[in-house]
Amino acid sequence: MLPARLGMRLRNLGVIAVLAGLLVSAAACSEPPTEYKATVYIFGTLVDFTISGAREEDAREAVGAVEREFQRMHTDWHAWKPGELTRLNQAIHDGRAMRVSPFLLPLLVQARSLSAASDNLFNPAIGALIAAWGFHNDELPSGVLPDREEISRLAALHPTMADVEISGDMVSSRNRAVQFDFGAFAKGAALDRAMEILRAHGIENAIINAGGDLNTLGKAGRGSGGAAKADGRPWHIGIRAPAGRGVIAAVDLAENENLYTSGNYERYRESEGIRYSHIIDPRDGMPVRHIVSASVIDMNGAVADAAATALSVAGPRDWHRIALKMGIKFALLVDENGTVYLNPEMKARVEFAKGQPPAIVVSPPL
């Protein structure tokens, strides 16, 4: 028997599943919502902004400023379309140092420390491997798989962020095999930057949702005619289930917490009935084999995004050690059988949709 309160909340979860939305503005209320909503495109994803408690013209101006920043990221953080990052990759390939703009430099610095913290399971220096698997393309790759020997050769060159030297704004690499691809955490870094811009425009309550990966600012708003005031509720969020199966659980995010999910079923190529994921294990250059999704909550979106990828690579056996090393406090993984792995602190915060998962494996605390 479910406790009454939980039973009631699980019925609410039915609503979440039906809406198939990943964000649900909580309790019903009689007042009309006065939220400002906008959608912006970046990195192949539609990003939904919901801003409450602000004047509409302020919200519109703030989102406009974010959009301009996103356009620049789309060019200068892109791993294979011409821009600053591809110029830097060319310089490293040629063995040259390059002066890097203040727009790109902080991303490199953050990538380097997150990579070290993840034991290089989050390794944004493996761009050549990701390209070799065909994922440097807007379309999903098909046809013959890359040559295994070539993949092993690229992995054996062992490019890591530890090879990268940053001196002032000059960047070089001791290892010419380093090729940056920030796809595993650029979305988080972009949403962090977007929140800074919203804050600078006086916005106090907002959620930015990029297909289930999201950042929150302040509290959930309800709206009450005119300039809406956030009413102090936490954000009630759905955690994406693997393979597009809606929502696996709901979690309340406190102020400024962010949630990122990474799954090796999202982008992949298929050959002879086998799926090859776009998440690559840097140790052997092969796509991650165990089917898994990893969700992480953190106050920093880039950290949550990088960690979700690292925990996907680590898989059910090794995720806890990597989460500890990365300073992650809340993580949840789902494997191909639907088994859920999570730490007790996360367990205390989630409510599973559609009853309990088939099995739950609770780790020691993080």
Please give the Cα distance from 140 to 154 (Å, whole number). 21
CB of 310 to ligand ADP, least distance (A): 7
Position 159 contacts ligand ADP (CB under 6 A): no
Position 309 contacts Mg ion (CB under 5 A): yes
Q: Using CB under 6 A, which of 67, 252, 266, 318 touches ligand ADP?
A: 266
Q: Which is nearer to Mg ion, 179 or 262 (CB)?
A: 262
Q: Which does 51 bind (CB under 5 to 8 A by kind): ligand ADP, Mg ion, none?
A: none
Backbone dihedral angles phi then psi of residue 352, each to the nearest 5 degrees: -80, 140
Say which DSSP state 142 is in.
-
Position 115 contacts Mg ion (CB under 5 A): no
Please give the Cα distance from 357 to 165 (Å, whole number). 46
Element (H, E) at 38: strand 36-42
Q: Which of 177, 267, 249, 186 is nearest to 17 (CA)?
A: 249
Residue with tokens 């054996």: 156
Position 305 contacts Mg ion (CB under 5 A): yes
Cα atoms in the Cβ-side hemisphere of radius 13 Å centred on 133:
28
Residue type (1 letter), 282: P
Position 279 contacts ligand ADP (CB under 6 A): yes
Please give the Cα distance from 70 to 41 (Å, whole number). 8
Position 305 contacts ligand ADP (CB under 6 A): yes
Position 172 contacts ligand ADP (CB under 6 A): no
Q: Which is nearer to ligand ADP, 121 or 203 (CB)?
A: 121
- Sequential DSSP letters for 284-300: TTEEP-S-EEEEEEESS
Please give the Cα distance from 173 to 310 (Å, whole number). 23
CB of 226 to Mg ion, least distance (A): 39
Q: Which does 313 bind (CB under 5 to 8 A by kind): ligand ADP, Mg ion, none?
A: ligand ADP
Q: Which of 321, 306, 314, 310 is nearest to 363 (CA)?
A: 321
Between residue 248 and residue 267, which ones bind Mg ion under the rule CB under 5 A?
Answer: 262
Please give the Cα distance from 178 to 182 (Å, whole number). 12
Size of the site for Mg ion (CB under 5 A): 5
Position 282 contacts ligand ADP (CB under 6 A): yes
Q: Which is nearer to ligand ADP, 205 or 309 (CB)?
A: 309
Please give the Cα distance from 62 to 202 (Å, whole number). 9
Position 80 contacts ligand ADP (CB under 6 A): no
Position 313 contacts ligand ADP (CB under 6 A): yes
Position 278 contacts ligand ADP (CB under 6 A): yes
x/- binding map, residues 89-128, to ligand ADP, per CB under 6 A?
Answer: --------------------------------xxxx----
Residue with tokens 């999202």: 266
Position 184 contacts Mg ion (CB under 5 A): yes
- The token pair at 185 is 């955490």
Q: Which of 34, 128, 117, 139 is nearest to 321 (CA)?
A: 117
Of 93-101, 218-226, 267-275, 297-305, which segment contacts Mg ion by CB under 5 A?
Answer: 297-305
Position 351 contacts ligand ADP (CB under 6 A): no
- Residue 345's contacts (CB-CB under 8 Å, 6 or more residues apart) are 329, 330, 365, 366
Alpha-carbon torsion angle 52, 349, 297, 257, nearest 10: 30
CB of 278 to ligand ADP, least distance (A): 4
Backbone dihedral angles phi then psi of residue 206, each to the nearest 5 degrees: -160, 160
Q: Which does 282 bind (CB under 5 to 8 A by kind): Mg ion, ligand ADP, none?
A: ligand ADP
Q: Which does 326 bind (CB under 5 to 8 A by kind): Mg ion, ligand ADP, none?
A: none
Position 318 contacts ligand ADP (CB under 6 A): no
Please give the residue ranges that form the binding site for Mg ion (CB under 5 A): 184, 262, 305, 308-309
Please give the residue ranges that form the binding site for ligand ADP (CB under 6 A): 121-124, 130, 135, 181, 183-184, 262, 266-267, 278-280, 282, 305, 309, 312-313
